[in-house]
Amino acid sequence: MKLGLEFYKQDALSLAKNLIGKILVRKINEKVIKCKIVETESYIGPEDKACHAYNNRRTNRTEVMFWEGGHAYVYLIYGMYNCLNIVAGERDKPEAVLIRALEPLNEFEFLKENRKIKSNKLKDLTNGPGKLCRALNITKDLNGYDLVNGDELYILDNLEDVHIVSAKRINIDYAEEYKDKLWRFYIKDNAFVSKK
């Protein structure tokens, strides 16, 4: 069953944990690509120095984080890669959950064609935030997309039991006392997690 508005209205920390194990669905033309979410990170403005919306910084880029939960926040990083976030919580509270890694469940050939890399390992297709966006053709066109009412990108519930562990977030050394927060979550021993 598709996750509804109430699910996305929880705070980013709970949402990051509760998104683990859920099924991300990407519809492109007639293809319906399904992937299990195996790794996430919380970004909680205005207090979090690692968050783009730290100190309530509200710009064209961060605007979507201020929207109601259930929207996609997609931004460009290092000039080459897009990153997909799920906006959490209430309107005017800038919180989001970064999707860091996915486990593909179908359409493996489609994902591989999008990635254009030498590796033949399935896990190399989606074990990082920039990689999974390229594999699923997620670009800034989807920034602000409505995951509750849209059908090109949405998330399905999954009742499967998962063993979640928490860890420090990745590559935010500039965030001072917030860099060591255990705001990253992933499925223990899952091969598709980006970093142990």
Partner DNA sequence: GTACCGATGTTCT
Partner DNA sequence: GAACATCGGTACC
| Residue ranges that bind DNA, judged by CB under 7 A | 41, 43, 50-52, 57, 59-62, 73, 76-81, 83, 85, 96, 98, 115, 117-119, 124, 128-132, 134, 170-172, 174, 194
- If the CB atoms of residues 83 and 147 are measured against DNA, the closer one turns out to be 83
Distance CA 44, CA 172 (A): 14
Residue reference for tokens 């195996």:
38
- If the CB atoms of residues 52 and 159 are measured against DNA, the closer one turns out to be 52
- If the CB atoms of residues 18 and 85 are measured against DNA, the closer one turns out to be 85
- If the CB atoms of residues 2 and 61 are measured against DNA, the closer one turns out to be 61
Q: State both tokens at 141.
A: 């066109």
**Residue 148 CB, nearest distance to DNA (Å)?**
20
Distance CA 175, CA 47 (A): 11
**Residue 186 CB, nearest distance to DNA (Å)?**
14
